[in-house]
Amino acid sequence: MFPDAGPDDPTVTAMRARELGRKSVVVGDRVSLVGDTSGAPGALARIVRIAERRSVLRRTAEDDATTAEGRLERVVVANADQLVIVSALADPPPRTGFIDRCLVAAYDADIEPLLCLTKADLAGPEAVLGYYTELELPYVLIRPDSDLAALRALLAGRVSVMVGHSGVGKSTLVNRLVPEADRAVGTVSAIGRGRHTSTSAVALRLPPQPGADGDPGWIIDTPGVRSFGLAHVSAESLLHGFPDLVEATVDCPANCQHTADEADCALDAWVAGGKADPRRLASYRRLLASRSGEGDPREPERNPGDPLAGS
């Protein structure tokens, strides 16, 4: 990817040079090329160097590192500045368990999160925003006919990776931001599940806006995902996704595992005292349990009825 590329710069086709060995190239990588970089039909360049990555967003298929799927890390994107978590407010309903997982992954990768709530014409954001009120999580509301100026301002000058379940309107949003992107758009079934429409991650240069100066930024659209495994995140780092709970752990005994069966865990008193939402503690402990192979690691992402009951 070329962070300084302009909208009129050519698209260069390149292959990885043999001397790079098994080192993979992922979306967002800064690379050095040799060969024909004209972008002309049939032109081919070679990738001879991959610059050091300043951030790496990863996920695993499962949470449990004792399984093959949990041990297999997938690099979602390199060098992103911002993780845009796209969630619909209805059809399908919001799934805070999935958002929590994305927040953990963002904080672990040292990437700033942004909550993008779509379909705001179908439901209000109060319940979701109330759940995250202690985090002061930046957010933006999107309606089918809404002006995207506020979102564009948050994307400007940054490399932003967009993640979300299928059916939440991510591809529709990408097409509004970059009209020539022509990302496939699917529908939501009667049971509130979306079809996977995007099949590969792609970096898209945001077009400059009339009267706006500076870099409009890049967005990286990713395929819709059903799970966001966190086996690559240590139990200690997992807590970083729950900054509203961190202060309470100062009063925990040494080597406290913060699980529900820890009699002296200070998190319970913290929540009982009204200093954090009990659903946040429940979500954190579900993630802890799924990392140890207990229960279904996908359960926190499902919606059992109440969209904010740890779904």
With contact defined as beta carbons under 8 Å apart, do 69 and 62 qualify? yes
Smallest Cα–Cα separation from 75: which of 95, 103, 55, 102? 55
With contact defined as beta carbons under 8 Å apart, do 102 and 85 qualify? yes
pLDDT at residue 183, rounded to an integer: 60
With contact defined as beta carbons under 8 Å apart, do 96 and 311 qualify? yes
Distance CA 3, CA 27 (A): 12
With contact defined as beta carbons under 8 Å apart, do 50 and 17 qualify? no
The two structure tokens encoding residue 19: 């001397």
pLDDT at residue 77, rounded to an integer: 93
With contact defined as beta carbons under 8 Å apart, do 243 and 106 qualify? no
Report angle CA 98, 105, 124 to the nearest 5 degrees.
35
Quick one: how many helices (H) and strands (E) in the chain?
A: 9, 11
The parts of the chain modelled with pLDDT lower than 50 are 187-198, 296-307, 309-311
With contact defined as beta carbons under 8 Å apart, do 53 and 38 qualify? no
Residues 185-233: pLDDT tens digits?
554 434 344 444 445 789 999 999 887 788 999 999 988 666 678 888 8
> What single-letter amino acid sits at 66?
T
Q: How many CA atoms lie within 13 A of 104 on its CB side?
A: 29
Residues 246-272: pLDDT tens digits?
999 999 999 999 999 999 999 999 999
Distance CA 186, CA 116 (A): 19
pLDDT at residue 228, rounded to an integer: 78
Total count of residues recorded for the chain = 311
> What single-letter amino acid sits at 73?
E
pLDDT at residue 150, rounded to an integer: 95
